[in-house]
């Protein structure tokens, strides 16, 4: 699976909600997981590989809190955000080598469907909450650079275009 780079138009489109999780969706998610790990990345939304379905893969290690996680989410949605926010540096596989500080809620309550079509609801904080907010934004066609000033956003996008031209 090829990871799309900005300014690819699919990155700005909304992913469609799944009626139920099919074997095909699980196969797609597993391929996404392989692509994400190979990249290497900590999260990947289906939009980033040109698929407009609400599928997200997560694979991260938070050494600070001794937490490791690897899972797939279908139709993920954040149902509650904490008032407290945290500023952290973010990057994105669709904007290679570009990083910027982004402010996001510290904790979230997440609801999603797993590969067994079970609804999961859980509270998540820290690094994992940040990754999930970033990936769920992708499903709405939103990128982390949208939280930046237009000047900074345009600068980062131009750098990605330059990298693409060099690789051609």
From 40-54, 68-82, 110-124, 153-167, the region with the lowest mean pLDDT: 153-167
Compute the mean pLDDT over every residue in the chain, rounded to the nearest whole number.
95
The per-residue pLDDT for range 16-62, each reduced to its tens digit, is 999 999 999 999 999 999 999 999 999 999 999 999 999 999 999 88
C-alpha span between 160 and 52 (Å, rounded): 22
Cα dihedral 136, 41, 13, 102 in deg (nearest 10): 60
What is the structure's pLDDT at 168? Answer: 65
Measured from the Cβ of residue 6, the count of other Cβ atoms closer than 10 Å reads 22
Q: Which two tokens stand for residue 113?
A: 């469907």
Catalytic residue among 89, 97, 115, 135: 135
Q: Which two tokens stand for residue 127?
A: 């690094």
- 67: tokens are 């937490």
| Whole-number Å distance between alpha carbons of 79 and 76 | 10
Domains in the chain, CATH or no CATH each: 9-167 (3.90.45.10)
- Rounded distance, CA 165 to CA 168, Å? 5
| Active-site annotation holds for 111 | no
**Residue 20 half-sphere exposure toward CB, CA atoms < 13 A:** 5
């Amino acid at each position: 699976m090829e990871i799309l780079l900005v300014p690819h138009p699919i990155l700005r489109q909304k992913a469609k909600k799944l009626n139920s999780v099919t074997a095909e969706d699980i196969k797609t998610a597993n391929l996404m997981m392989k692509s994400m790990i190979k990249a290497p990345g900590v999260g990947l939304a289906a939009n980033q590989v040109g698929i407009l379905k609400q599928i997200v893969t997560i694979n991260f290690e938070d050494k600070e809190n001794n937490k490791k996680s690897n899972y797939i989410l279908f139709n993920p949605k954040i149902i509650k955000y904490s008032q407290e926010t945290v500023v952290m540096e973010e990057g994105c596989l669709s904007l290679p080598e570009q990083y910027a500080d982004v402010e996001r809620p510290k904790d979230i309550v997440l609801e999603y469907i797993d590969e067994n079509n079970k609804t999961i609801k859980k509270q998540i904080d820290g690094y994992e909450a940040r990754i999930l907010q970033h990936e769920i934004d992708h499903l709405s066609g939103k990128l982390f650079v949208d939280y930046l000033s237009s000047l900074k956003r345009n600068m980062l996008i131009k750098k990605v275009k330059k990298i693409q031209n060099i690789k051609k």
